[in-house]
Chains A and B, each alone.
Chain A
């Protein structure tokens, strides 16, 4: 055939959007980007373990490889391309200043095994970032090494368990609200605790009475996100923290939504015992495929002695890293080590660059703008969509699918149609406490113009859904390199490996 059936072009390309084969399909034996001299004849000392068959790497030239990855990158979506309203993910702009600092000579070329005397600046940087985190949260200590949010949760719950064991207590249950991120119950279960869910009340907050009814001397703690995943501030949080402490348990705060309250609420004032901070969300280090996370955990007086190794201390000769519990400067109670080396140094640099370039007033303004933007979305969309809860929201706004009732369009269809409009879809079907949830978090990054365009697109889609265009929604996305994927098929019968075509099999067909 002369022309591709979907694109109408000979190549299958859509203009500058180029149809790209797998590297393995492009490879040709013997083709290479470098000339390597034939190795001299050597005596085989491999004891019979020498490879017997070709390993099947594709033969490719350098421009082939460069084009391949550049073309794939053009099919990607990123915060550098546009609004990324994925709720509970805080997809904010990653300032270029952060990148410049992370690449600076003396920071970019550090090695974790350098002698301490040669990395005093790096240790001071970790210590300075720790100071900012402690001041912003009103907490006396912080464990810097956790590598991501869920890793931070693990750190926090392990510290809770260590503190309970130190008290000679064995508690077995952890309370988790139904609107929690899935990692909360997963963390509690991974640490050997039974997960006891707490229902939400009609206002989308923790049901205080249901929570109190579950308290007992077997409860190790409660894990709460505040603001919660419905984008609402838990306004009975002080009563919750008093009650959990009175019952001898600890208060774990999931800091995923910290961007809503930075510079305004100090979690320490709410009675929090530990909280992970997603540097990659709140403090603008790249994530969502763009970089490793980083999840330092701030700790209360009660939990601080159990913080994992290593940590930075001030010695008489400068900064030191405590690597062992038998170090004279150690507490002797650390629950262990969570990570090789000292934490995500590259992210520490970026987060501190963000903090210091904003200053205390700038950080406070950022959280305010993030909440303002979410409320602007809420106010602009509330007549066309259906907000899940009444009243203002925090940094993210939650809609349910009542506005799609009887249209034949589902939340999934709606999200797919957003892709045709050039947006990353919002979070969908989460939190689970709301039917057909659509959760949008614009962050402070977006200007009013950007938000207005997004609002226009969402409203237009909602009107099309209500006008009976369900069939078109079910086909979306239509303008992408690939059309709607068979997600069910991919989950049930995943094809995880490319296999070379079998020439004999082809001949038989």
Chain B
């Protein structure tokens, strides 16, 4: 298992080699409520840090999932399209959204670690 980092937009990112797996956090899925629709980027698509990479829609709202780092999409989790409930059931595992080939690993440096993110979430309420 690689290191997991978190963004203040409630995405997690796990780095293995130069491939980063990206998803939304347990807090995010909990706030969204039942996820009913997921739109994913296509493999080969270039995404830029901080811009929209995917869309997640729940019974409450539609939200963007931002690319936490710049890179190229190597794989998207098509299983989510058929079974969006996976995002609620296992957000940090089977509910991953996409795998990116990183352009610049140093972009991870500014992100939070697990303890830092936990503190950040506690500060929200």
Contacts and interface: CB of A to CB of B under 8 A. Distances in A.
Interface in A422-440: 429-430, 432
A429 B36 contact: no
Contacts of A432: 61
Q: Is the interface of A mostly helix, strand, loop or mixed?
A: helix
Contacts of A488: 34, 36, 59
B61 to A, nearest CB: 6
Interface in A451-509: 487-488, 491-492
A491 B36 contact: yes
B80 to A, nearest CB: 12
Contacts, number: 19
Q: Which of A182, A412, A432, A491 has the most CB of B within 10 A?
A: A491
Contacts of B62: 182
A491 B62 CA distance: 13
A204 B10 CA distance: 22
Chain A interface category by residue count: under 10
A44 B34 CA distance: 55
A432 B31 CA distance: 11
B61 A487 contact: no
Contacts of A430: 61
Nearest to A195: B52
A492 B61 CA distance: 14
Contacts of A491: 34, 36-37, 59
A471 to B, nearest CB: 19
A408 to B, nearest CB: 15
A495 B99 CA distance: 33
Contact of B84 (A182, A429, A487, A492): A492
B40 interface: no
B49 interface: no
A488 B37 CA distance: 10
Contacts of B85: 492
A492 B60 contact: no
A412 to B, nearest CB: 8
Contacts of B36: 488, 491-492
B122 to A, nearest CB: 15
Nearest to A402: B125
Nearest to A428: B60
Interface in B35-77: 36-37, 59-62
A488 B84 CA distance: 11
Nearest to A185: B64
A222 to B, nearest CB: 19
Contacts of A182: 62
A182 B60 CA distance: 13
Contacts of B61: 429-430, 432
A412 B33 CA distance: 11
A437 to B, nearest CB: 10
A491 B59 CA distance: 8
Contacts of A492: 34, 36, 84-85
Contact of A429 (B34, B37, B60): B60
6 contacts: A412-B60, A429-B60, A429-B61, A487-B34, A492-B34, A492-B36
Given A430-B61, A492-B34, 4 more contacts: A412-B60, A429-B61, A491-B34, A492-B84
Closest 8 CB pairs of A and B: A491-B36, A488-B34, A429-B60, A487-B59, A492-B36, A488-B59, A429-B61, A432-B61
